[in-house]
Amino acid sequence: MVIRYTVPASEDGRILKNVLRDSLRLSTAQLRRLKAADALSVGGERSRADRVLHTGDELMLLLTEDAPAFPPEEAPLTVLFEDEHLLALDKPRGIILHPTHSRFTGTLANLAWGRIRASGGDGCHAVNRLDRDTGGAVLFAKNAWACSRMAGAVEEKLYLAAVCGVPEEPSGSVDFPIRRLSERDMKRVCAPDGQSARTDWTLLASREGLSLLELRLYTGRTHQIRVHCAAMGWPLLGDRLYGTEASLARSAELGQTMQALWCVRMAFRHPADERRIVLSARPDSEILSIFDFSA
């Protein structure tokens, strides 16, 4: 991958390696690779990393990286956004996001890597993560540089959830700390000694004891929405881990075996030019139809 950068007046007189680290956010490993490959150039000429830069200098970097350890696969995908640096997909519920020691194929990352490799890309890095049974917007970086630039670049994440129960107020905020139930347990609980976690919610619709909530995250704790909704007495429809006997019975009536949760909106700054990108996804039509919404 080739990165081009024009030195602004604010960086006149700075050292090349410092600009690469601070402004372009290259990692130590990436800098080491550039030096070893003699892949740094200024104004079309090969340059040392300790070169002094001046306003208007044109930098060109040739970055390489190792291919992912997991195999590429092909299958139809719903693409929300794609360019030379990023690939955003609408993840279906029920698919694992990333390979693990016990599951090396059949994940969304395998499919994303298949698409990226077919278009000449070098890498595949998940920027955000969703549980297996959560659907919606997932963002992949096509190279390590774009992935590192995405740290802190996601400005907004908005979810929709169908829950069992109806809030008494039209909107509110849940600010309960979250921790593991026990050291080796996947389940989380709200507890004073947990990590801070805040979720804002808005009631969009309710019907027959079910509610459709819009939820905004201010922290990204594991299972945060599921834990907070369960703590408030509104377990997610289809949530087998945090549901109650009553909510699971209702879920079974509606044929829901996975939690009804989707990341429906994500806004971020693009790693190359910092323009604001907004991704939008939609929940399954069967969930929306419960509340008389069309897909």
**How far is Cα 14 from Cα 289, in angstroms, rounded to an integer?**
59
The reply to whether domains 68-151 and 156-262 share a CATH topology is: yes
Q: Is 131 a catalytic residue?
A: yes
Q: Which of 30-44, 176-190, 262-276 comes out lowest in average pLDDT? A: 30-44
Out of 131, 133, 175, 284, pick the active-site residue.
131
Are 159 and 262 a contacting pair, CB within 8 Å? Answer: yes
- Can you say whether the dihedral through the CA atoms of 159, 162, 166, 170 is positive or negative? positive
Nearest in space to 12 (alpha carbons), one of 23, 2, 3, 4 = 23
Q: Whole-model pTM?
A: 0.88
Superfamily of domain 2-62: RNA-binding S4 domain (3.10.290.10)
- Each residue of 71-114: pLDDT tens digit? 999 999 999 999 999 999 999 999 999 998 888 999 999 999 99
What one-character DSSP code corresponds to residue 112?
A: H
Per CATH, the number for 68-151 is 3.30.2350.10
Under the banding of pLDDT at 50, 70 and 90, the label for residue 294 is: low
> What six digits make up the tokens of 63?
């970055």
- Kindly tell me if the per-residue pLDDT of 293 is higher than 80: no
Domain range list for the chain: 2-62, 68-151, 156-262
CATH class for the domain made up of 156-262: alpha beta
